[in-house]
Amino acid sequence: MSLYIGREASKLWKRICAETTTEINLLAENWKYILGGLIFQYVHGLAARGVHYLHKPGPILQDAGFYLLPELGQDKGYISESVFTSVFVSFFLWTFHPFIFKTKKIYTVLLWCRVLAFLVASQILRIITFYSTQLPGPNYHCREGSKLARLPRPDNAFEVLLINFPKGVVYGCGDLIFSSHMIFTLVFVLTYQKYGSRRSMKQVAWLIAVIQSLLIVACRKHYTVDVVVAWYTVNLVVFFINKKLPELPDRTSGVSPLLLPVSISDKTAKNKAENHKLLNGNSVDPADWRLRSQVNGKVVEDGENLHDNMKNGA
C-alpha cells in the first residue's frame, strides 16, 4: 500500500513539475495581458469608489423584484456574499486542475487571459453606465440616515487611491447598473460552460447563477434592472470577444503539452517563408517543391520540359 502511494505521489509530482514548466513558458509570453487585466481590477475599484462621492441617498425606487421577492433583511445579507465567494473560489481552483489531473482541456494562463478580457470589457461598460446616471442605493448602508451613505470630501488624492479596501468595496454606494457580482458570476459560468467537461456541473453552475441573481435582489443590494442588464450584457460581451479571439488549443486530443501555441514571431517567420516560396514559383506544399523555370513568361515544371520546349521551338 505504501509503495503504491509513493509511486502515485511521484507521478503527481512529475505532473505538477511538467505543467508548471509549460505554464511558466506561456506566462512569459502572455504576462502583459495578465498584468493589464489585474491592474484594471484596481481601476474598476477606484471608479466604484469615486462614484460613491457622488451618491445621494433618497427614496428607494419602485422595483418589480422588490415587490415579488421577500426582503431577507440586513442580518442575512451574508447569504448572497457566501454564494458569490463559493462561485469565485470554485472557479479559481478549477482553472488550476491541469496541474493535478491527467485529463486536461485548458492551459491555465491562456484561460485567465481570456477571462480577464471578458471582465475588463464588461467592467468598462459598467463604469460608463453607473457614471452616466447615479441612482439612490437600495442597500441598507446606502439609505438616508446611514453614515456610510455619503462619503466626506477626501483630504488628499492618496485617500482616494487607497479605496479603503476592503471596507470601501463592501460598503460602496452608487455603482449600481450593472451588478459587478453578476459580471464575475456569469463570466465564470460561461467560461466553464465552454471549457468544462462535466455536464452536470454546468447545469449546477447555471442554477447557482440564477439563485445568485435572486439573492442579490432579495438582499436589496441591487435593483432588478442591475441584474437583468448584467445577464444580457455579459452574455453579449463574451459572445463577441470569443468571436474575435483565436480559439484556445484543446488538450483532450492527446497533443503533448510541450507543443505550445505558435507565437506571433513564429507565425510571422512562417508567413515570410511561404511568401518567399510563392515569389520563387515554388508551391507552399512541401510535396510540390519541384524545380521551376520561366521561359517567355511561362512557368516550366522541370528541366526536361524546358529542353522539350526549346527543341520544339527550334
Q: Which of 209, 207, 169 is nearest to 188 (CA)?
A: 209
Upstream peptide bond of 178 is cis (omega within 30 degrees of 0)? yes
DSSP secondary structure letter of residue 299: E
Give Cα 46 to chain centroid, integer Å: 20
Cα–Cα distance measured from residue 256 to residue 53, given in angstroms and rounded to the nearest whole number: 53
226 is catalytic: yes
Give me the helices (H) in the chain, please. Answer: 2-52, 64-68, 78-94, 108-132, 157-161, 167-170, 180-195, 199-218, 224-244, 264-279, 303-313
The Cα 186–Cα 104 span in angstroms is 22
Torsion angle of alpha carbons 143, 147, 151, 156, nearest 10°?
-170
The grid coordinates of residue 47 equal 471608479
The active-site residue, picked from 44, 52, 55, 181, is: 181
| Secondary structure class of 291 (helix, strand, coil) | coil
User: What 3-state class would DSSP assign to 223?
Assistant: coil
**Residue 174: which region, alpha, beta or left (left: phi > 0; alpha: psi -120 to 50)?**
left
> What is the Cα–Cα distance from 111 to 98, expressed in whole angstroms?
12
DSSP letter at 164 equals: T
Q: Which of 44, 52, 55, 226 is catalytic?
A: 226
Which one is catalytic: 97, 222, 266, 302?
222
DSSP string across 266-290: HHHHHHHHHHHHHHTT--SSGGG--
Active-site residues, by number, are: 181, 222, 226
